[in-house]
A and B are shown apart, each in its own frame.
Chain A
Amino acid sequence: MSLFNQIPQLSKDTLRAGKKAIDASFKDFSREYGDLIELIFEPVKWLLIKSENFLTDTSWIIILVLIASIAWLGSKSIKIVIGSVLTLLLIGYLGMWENTMKTISMTFVAAILAISIGIPIGILMARSNIALRIASPILDVMQTMPSFVYLIPVVMLLGIGKVPGLLAVIIYAIPPIIRLTNLGIRLVNNNVMEAGHAYGASYAQRLTKIQIPLALPTIMAGINQTIMLALSMVVIASMIGVQGLGQPVLQAIQNQFFTLGMMNGFAIVGIAIIFDRVTQAYGKRMQKYQETVDEQ
């Protein structure tokens, strides 16, 4: 066998031994620290359970009114509100209310966490080119690594259940909010920033009075993307025990239940559209100042 035909390769034995050694040390690590890490995530677990209990235990009428009012506050559009209510009524009528609530709860908690972690990271990336250089490749990995792959260490560390599921969803959903916060701030017009400097604004003042308000439409687009990704991850997360609309879908795949799969699939699409329209309409309303009045 010449070098021309065969790419240089580690011997199979070395490779196997290497993999085994890494696996073993990671197993040791999770045995050693698994409990500690679970303890760290205790507050998150508490939040997940509280939010899920609230959504599933409260009367459906109250939840419907609540979601309708949030939709109204966000979009100020009666069309979007009616659409949301009808979608949810249909979901309930077809017997998917409880699973939908579980999915909404998971998406909600994941999105809140992703946004509150992602925005500060995005701000840091916009401020420092070093942070940008460090974060960019990590974000690339997060966005392209098949989600099944990082489910493995998450499950090894935390077992199956809500918290590992949440972690997987956040890893999957956080890159857009980080990237778009950074982008939005970097796109703020230089002239305006110069005016901030000229009037003696401090870094915090420039950030809160100029950069964030002007980047807000872009940041809103990031929030929208993060919510959408979180929602689309629930099916995959159902493989590690996350309850909700993902589980019946998984069951349908395994048993070839066409109708069950379709129904739950469309329920996910339905709530995705509600989330999307409401956040987009909200983002658009924040850009009101960009409209010009007609010449009189």
Chain B
Amino acid sequence: MSNKEYIQIQNINKIFGPNPESVLDLVADGIGKSELQSKHNHVLALQDINIGIKKNKIQVFMGLSGSGKSTLIRHLNQLIHPTSGNVIIDGEDITSMSDKEITNFRRNKIAMGFQKFALLPHRTVLSNTYFGLEIRGVEKKEREKEALKWIDRVGLNGFENYYPNQLSGGMQQRVGLARALTNDAPILLMDEPFSALDPLIRMDMQDMLVQLEKELNKTIIFITHDLDEALRLGDNIAILRDGKIIQEGDGQEIVLNPENSYISKFVSEVNRGRVIQCKTIMKKEINQELTNEAIVSPDMTIEEAAKIITESGLDIGSVLNNKGKLVGTISVQDIVASIVTPIKYKND
């Protein structure tokens, strides 16, 4: 693994049960999840997880319930300790830290948002938001100032003195987000933070998160069961099934080359126009006059490109890179074809 990887998850196995170590060898020999459960009374939650996460990117773990994604994210702040394997963050092995060290690490390096918000019901929005700073022992004036800044940033101005029960779900999750951001930790863990929200508010929150990530340079680990959400947010996506990573890559890779039928079933529901970028399907041979009216960029999604090309009344758009050089052409026909192309997958 390269040094650039800020967080390294190495050979993580997690087994729940009366004596997890005793069955570790069986797992290494490849015993199945159901056999382990029925014959040995242990639950295999995670199996040989290896992944590197780059700094200041959004890493998404996607999977259905029972896939082990929530268990995995809790390894990153040691709310759950692995049965075997290591988690190395910024050069430090957090799995071998003492209780005191891990408490310190949680206070300063990592913040977390929760699916069910997990706000303190007896505290106001303001004092919920500065909870992390209070734990750290920051002075009251200082932490209130910092908290107010983030309450404002997530759009909850004027709600400082409300109690969580008096707010809607979307607003409560904004408080959760403000609490996580107020800690000013370089790593943000988000455990299905938006799945309890209705679709429109969820989109708002997703946009806000992407915006914040660009502004603040944070490494965000995001858990979701929704592939659309994964594609919208993730710089890199890992798909989990039965405690194993079955595919990892950026959104386009997963949509264009699903590893197996399980993933392709998910992918078939996705709006491919919003995922595939012009550079992926453009024709590189340039045999055409430059048409100034329909100019698209290589990183643009083909949905956006289609809009620009059709609005200009043409059939073909020119793909210009950020230096203004013509690098390819793209036709509306190509775009339509790639949106409806039946999905092929590599294995099975």
Q: Which residues of A contact B104 (CB under 8 A)?
A: 200
17 extra interface residue pairs, beta carbon distance < 8 Å, beyond A192-B119, A194-B118, A291-B166:
A191-B114, A194-B79, A195-B131, A198-B110, A199-B107, A199-B135, A199-B183, A200-B103, A200-B104, A209-B135, A213-B120, A213-B122, A214-B122, A216-B122, A289-B122, A293-B162, A293-B166
> Smallest Cβ distance from B103 to chain A, in angstroms?
5
Q: Of residues A200, A202, A291, which shows the largest number of chain B Cβ atoms within 10 Å of its Cβ?
A: A200
Contact with B along A198-228 (1 / 0, CB 8 A): 1111100100011001101000000000000
Q: List B residues 152-176 near A (Cβ within 8 Å).
A: 162-163, 165-166
> Smallest Cβ distance from B239 to chain A, in angstroms?
25
Asked whether any CB of chain B lies closer than 8 Å to the CB of A290, the reply is yes
**Chain B interface size range:** 20 to 34
Q: Which residues of A pack against B, CB within 8 Å?
A: 189, 191-192, 194-195, 197-202, 205, 209-210, 213-214, 216, 289-293
Distance of A239 Cα from B10 Cα, bound (Å):
72
B112 close to A291 (CB less than 8 A): no
Chain A interface helix/strand/loop/mixed: helix
Q: Which residues of B pack against A, CB within 8 Å?
A: 77, 79, 103-108, 110-112, 114, 116-123, 131-132, 134-136, 162-163, 165-166, 183, 189
A194-B79, A289-B163 given; A199·B106 CB < 8 A: yes
Name the CB-closest residue of A to B127: A209
Q: Which residues of B contact A210 (CB under 8 A)?
A: 120
Distance of A294 Cα from B106 Cα, bound (Å):
37
Q: Which residues of A contact B166 (CB under 8 A)?
A: 291-293
Distance of A198 Cα from B117 Cα, bound (Å):
13
A199 close to B118 (CB less than 8 A): no
Name the CB-closest residue of B to A216: B122
Name the CB-closest residue of B to A295: B168
Name the CB-closest residue of B to A288: B163
A199-B107, A201-B135 given; A194·B114 CB < 8 A: yes
A191-B116, A191-B118 given; A198·B106 CB < 8 A: yes
Distance of A138 Cα from B262 Cα, bound (Å):
57
Q: Which residues of B contact A197 (CB under 8 A)?
A: 79, 106
Name the CB-closest residue of A to B117: A191
**What are 30 A-B pairs with beta-carbon distances under 8 A?**
A189-B118, A191-B114, A191-B117, A191-B118, A192-B120, A195-B119, A195-B120, A197-B79, A198-B77, A198-B106, A199-B106, A199-B107, A199-B135, A199-B183, A200-B103, A200-B105, A200-B135, A202-B103, A213-B122, A216-B122, A289-B121, A289-B122, A289-B123, A289-B163, A289-B165, A290-B165, A291-B166, A292-B166, A293-B162, A293-B166
A200-B136, A290-B165, A293-B166 given; A195·B118 CB < 8 A: yes
Name the CB-closest residue of A to B133: A199
A199 close to B165 (CB less than 8 A): no
> Smallest Cβ distance from B151 to chain A, in angstroms?
17
> Smallest Cβ distance from A288 to chain B, in angstroms?
8
Q: Which of B107, B108, B114, B134 contacts A195 (CB 8 A)?
A: B114
Q: Of residues A213, A216, A289, which shows the largest number of chain B Cβ atoms within 10 Å of its Cβ?
A: A289
